[in-house]
Structure 1
Amino acid sequence: MRGYVFDLDGTIYLGDRMIEGAAEAIRILRERGDRVVFLSNKPIATRQSYAEKLTKMGIPTSVEDVLNSSLIVARYLQKRMAPGERVYVIGEQPIHDELQSHGIALTGDSVNPDYVVLSWDRQFTYDKLNIVYQAAVSGSKIIASNPDATCPLDHGQIPDTGTFIAALEAATGRSIDLVVGKPSLIAAEAAVEHLGLQYADCFMIGDRLETDIRMGNDAGMQSVLVLTGVATAEMAASSEYKPAHVIPSIKEIVRL
């Protein structure tokens, strides 16, 4: 039995278009007894919406089989926050909802919160950048949902959370405190615990070298780069994050 941790955007689909062969590949893996989980860094949609999207594409999926950076942030804060501590969130409604569903105490007061969660926000402004900057220099812990600079769509790419992180780090002159999404080992642990297997028995399949492949390598999984999203074979050849396997698309995963 093997475990398969699949990225979504650029690996299973591009925007609303499923990548050819994705549904068939997942079906074959499941029928032969392997275990599958979906792990996305994208925090602007709910896990339920991802499950529904995959199911409509012909990949029957329950919400429990979807992990995203919002969930991983919520679980991390559950374990770390002390009584009375509060979290200020820069991000869209799905991450607010996920945090609240896990009992995380949120605050609308941006002055000296204990934590700031910095996430993808398509209404990001200078004022929001200043809020997180002032919190950072005042001692708040800054936790990012994911480090992706862009998100792939079927017509190109758009800026993601990593662009906000870069702006904040340029202003403060130091790194933020933590990123919990891929390539963090926090995300790897969440995926492998869900599968109930050892790292060495799992494949990490994705389209990004600096997140998917790096996490797979760091965690001791077999990393698999698909060429349907951001990274190219040329990028893989010159990257410090070398995939164990490079395949044209997800439909080749059943042959590994």
Structure 2
Amino acid sequence: MSEALQEVYDAVLFDLDGTVYQGSRIIPGAAEVMRELRDVRRPVRFVTNNASKTPEDVVEHLRGLGVDAEPAEVSTSAQAAARVLRERLPSGASVMIVGAPALEHEVEATGMRPVRKASGVDAVVQGHWTETGWSDLAEACLAIRAGAFWVACNVDATLPSERGQLPGNGSMVAALRAATGAEPEVAGKPEAPLFTTAAAAAGASLALVVGDRLETDIAGAVAAGLDSLAVLTGVATPGRLLVAAPAERPHYIAADLTGLSAPAGELRVGPKPGWRVRAEQDVLAVSAHDSSDQLELLRALCHFAWETGVTAVRALDEGAKAALGDLGLTPS
């Protein structure tokens, strides 16, 4: 039996929303996983595309949910956006903020001047904030049309919450994209720097990224050259995993963070002895051999779908039919 997944890597980089918690609700098992990692002295980093909170805010939220954390362990897209601005603009440059006070603080900390109106600004930086309204987007639209450099903290279309998926920063970015015809530079996930910086801060030579969103968490890991674990507690679904583009494919799949203590070989995407999967023209034919574990089947299906490009599935027996139903995959 292979080592537990958490033992293979020398640091674990966690997404937050949809992976550790959903809004004000801790995802079951997450706090216990974090304590176990602390007990074995495995460095962790919390890497979030949410630009509305400072590292201190993130730590306060995590501690309120029973997860121990320190500000130095938090990497935010607001910090990444401030770094992009610092690299492109001189000290004292005027930057229009479309986002929370936390984003304003990160920009000010780099020596630039945050403002809230469009007149004469050098750049616009946009991050998630529940208070952003039409007037904020209107000011940003004027500045971008006038030639201001535009940075988006992230382009997540939705934001997980305990009530379901809500509009994320990407939805607001889409509105400005439509109004200006411009394209922002994206600072956070899925770009690599947020992960490479977090891994370096943890002193890791072999870090694992854990997240729920293929187009940001997993794509960012791929861009950074890091292995990744996709969990099914947020946005990612079995159907979405089957059709994932090469740049969005995780090495491992688990139901939730408790998978970190399972053997790495069991979690890895690939053929599984308990299931028989074969490509028959335009369908993946599935039969149960010695397993009823639907996640084991999902890992096998992803392997064959990614190898062949075939994503339709067909059950050859009742065991396969039941497992595909549990995964929400409709047999052909």
Asked whether 1:245 is paired with 2:245, we answer no
Q: Per-residue deviation at 1:38? A: 0.3
Q: What is the aligned length? A: 253
CA distance in 2, matches of 1:154, 1:84: 40
Q: Which runs of 5+ in 2 are unaligned?
A: 1-8, 265-332
TM-score, L = length of structure 1 = 0.92
What one-letter code is carried by the residue in structure 1 that aligns with 2:146? S
Q: Report what 1:196 is aligned to.
A: 203
Q: Per-residue deviation at 1:83? A: 3.4
Q: Is the 8 A contact 1:74 1:104 kept in 2?
A: no
Q: Report what 2:231 is aligned to.
A: 226
Q: Report what 2:108 is aligned to.
A: 100
Q: Report what 2:61 is aligned to.
A: 53
Give SS of 1:20's match: coil
Q: Is the 8 A contact 2:92 2:111 kept in 1?
A: no
Query: Please, what is the CA RMSD of the aligned residues?
Result: 1.7
Query: Which stretches of structure 1, 4 residues or longer, exceed 3 Å deviation after superposition?
Result: none
| Equivalences for residues 79-118 of structure 1 within 5 A | 79-118=87-126
Question: Aligned match of 1:169 in 177, 185, 188?
Answer: 177
Question: Aligned match of 1:158 in 146, 158, 166?
Answer: 166
Question: Aligned match of 1:125 in 129, 133, 145?
Answer: 133
In structure 2, do the counterparts of structure 1 residues 20 and 62 end up closer, same or farther at CA, with 3 Å as the change threshold?
same
Q: Which region of structure 1 is more displaced relative to structure 2, 79-88 or 223-232?
A: 79-88
In structure 2, do the counterparts of structure 1 residues 71 and 209 end up closer, same or farther at CA, with 3 Å as the change threshold?
same
CA distance in 1, matches of 2:236, 2:176: 26
What one-letter code is carried by the residue in structure 2 that aligns with 1:139? G
Structure number with greater CO (CA < 8 Å, separation at least 6) is 1
What one-letter code is carried by the residue in structure 1 that aligns with 2:136? K
CA distance in 2, matches of 1:153, 1:13: 8
Sequence identity percentage: 33
Give SS of 2:114's match: coil
In structure 2, do the counterparts of structure 1 residues 109 and 130 end up closer, same or farther at CA, with 3 Å as the change threshold?
closer
CA-to-aligned-CA distance 1:86-113 (integer Å, 9 cap, x gap):
1110112221123223433223441231
Q: Report what 2:215 is aligned to.
A: 210
Question: Aligned match of 1:74 in 78, 82, 88?
Answer: 82
Q: Which runs of 5+ in 1 are unaligned?
A: none
Give SS of 2:47's match: strand
Q: Per-residue deviation at 1:127? A: 2.7
TM-score, L = length of structure 2 = 0.72
CA-to-aligned-CA distance 1:29-50 (integer Å, 9 cap, x gap):
2322321000111112221121
CA distance in 1, matches of 2:62, 2:133: 32
CA distance in 1, matches of 2:172, 2:219: 21
CA distance in 1, matches of 2:158, 2:186: 16
What one-letter code is carried by the residue in structure 2 that aligns with 1:237? L
Q: Highest CA radius of gyration, 1 or 2?
A: 2
Q: Per-residue deviation at 1:217? A: 1.1
Q: Report what 2:15 is aligned to.
A: 7
In structure 2, do the counterparts of structure 1 residues 77 and 207 end up closer, same or farther at CA, with 3 Å as the change threshold?
same
Q: Per-residue deviation at 1:164? A: 1.3
Q: Is the 8 A contact 1:29 1:254 kept in 2?
A: no
CA distance in 1, matches of 2:96, 2:75: 22
What one-letter code is carried by the residue in structure 2 that aligns with 1:112? G
Q: Report what 1:42 is aligned to.
A: 50
What one-letter code is carried by the residue in structure 1 that aligns with 2:222? N
Q: Which region of structure 1 is more displaced relative to structure 2, 165-174 or 245-254?
A: 165-174
In structure 2, do the counterparts of structure 1 residues 60 and 121 end up closer, same or farther at CA, with 3 Å as the change threshold?
closer
CA distance in 1, matches of 2:131, 2:57: 21
Q: Per-residue deviation at 1:159? A: 0.6
Question: Aligned match of 1:65 in 60, 73, 82?
Answer: 73
CA distance in 1, matches of 2:241, 2:36: 27
Q: Is the 8 A contact 1:28 1:254 kept in 2?
A: no
